[in-house]
Amino acid sequence: MTPTVLLAEDDRAIRDSLDRLLTLEGYQVTPVSDGIEALASVHKQRPDVVVLDVMMPGIDGLAVCRVLRAEGDNVPILMLTARVETSDRVAGLDAGADDYMLKPFEAEELLARLRALLRRAAVPAVSSAEAAVEPDSVTAGHDLIEVDDLRIDSTARRVWRGGEEIQLSRTEYDLLELLARNAGIVLDHSTVYDRIWGYDFGPGSKNLAVYIGYLRRKLDTPGRTPLIHTVRGVGYTLREP
């Protein structure tokens, strides 16, 4: 089936350029110019993925993202932003975005990230009954990963540390599961980029380091022994203390 993309971008030149690019790549694109149109379009016909500019008139991209997540819509969202500060990127992810890209960006990288989001969105959804289980009463057949006091139910895509559930974005979860399944093994940058994003963005990319930072802030809170370690010049590993 042809993947559908909602493209919300107020800059006409960028919007038209992305519309042409995505259409040529086989996507069915619905282009809109502001947040109000974006929400109306999603409510009318839910797309497979959303490409959402942060700075838009009326309702901005962050507000659109928050509304969709508050409504329980888990449609994959890739945010586009010209803001380079880490705090701005954190705001986008905290609003519920699955990934972000800084402007200007390379077309190949954007397409690779969209493919990765669509692959992860294809993971079968977990029923509300399955999602209601506690970490110590997981139903039979669930795939569990445990490293020290970290527990991951990969069937329900839920994470606990020390009995406390940790809320992660789709990308954060996928990265953590990859590290946990390879606990004690140092994964180099290229391997992680290929497995998570489906594309090696090269040595100059900071995307992986940013997501590692997000995971550390959520998992390695004060009073807890760090689980995620950097091996300089190589990559990252998750291991018991």
pLDDT, the chain, mean = 85
Confidence of residue 33 (pLDDT cuts 50, 70, 90): very high
Look at residue 86 in the predicted model and tell me its pLDDT: 62
Nearest-5° Cα angle at 198, 179 to 74 = 80
Cβ atoms within 10 A of the Cβ of 49, count?
23
pLDDT, tens only, 105-126: 889 989 988 998 888 777 554 4
pLDDT, tens only, 59-97: 899 899 989 988 888 899 999 988 766 666 667 777 888
- Average pLDDT (179-193) is 91
| CA pair distance 3, 23, nearest whole angstrom | 10
The residues that bridge with 79 in the sheet, in sequence order, are 52, 100
Backbone angles phi, psi at 9, to 5 degrees: -150, 125
Is 50 exceeded by the pLDDT of residue 131?
Answer: no
Least confident range of 50-59, 93-102, 207-216: 93-102
Which amino acid is residue 86, in one-letter code? Answer: T
Confidence of residue 134 (pLDDT cuts 50, 70, 90): low
Please check whether residue 27 is in contact with residue 3, taking contact to mean a CB–CB distance below 8 angstroms: yes
Is 70 exceeded by the pLDDT of residue 207?
Answer: yes
Look at residue 88 in the predicted model and tell me its pLDDT: 64
Look at residue 123 in the predicted model and tell me its pLDDT: 59
Look at residue 57 in the predicted model and tell me its pLDDT: 83
Q: What is the pTM of this model?
A: 0.66
pLDDT, tens only, 146-157: 999 999 998 888
Confidence of residue 141 (pLDDT cuts 50, 70, 90): low
- Average pLDDT (159-186) is 90
CA-CA distances (angstroms) from residue 55 to 8, 21, 81?
A: 10, 21, 7
Please check whether residue 178 is in contact with residue 187, taking contact to mean a CB–CB distance below 8 angstroms: yes
Look at residue 132 in the predicted model and tell me its pLDDT: 46
Confidence of residue 100 (pLDDT cuts 50, 70, 90): confident
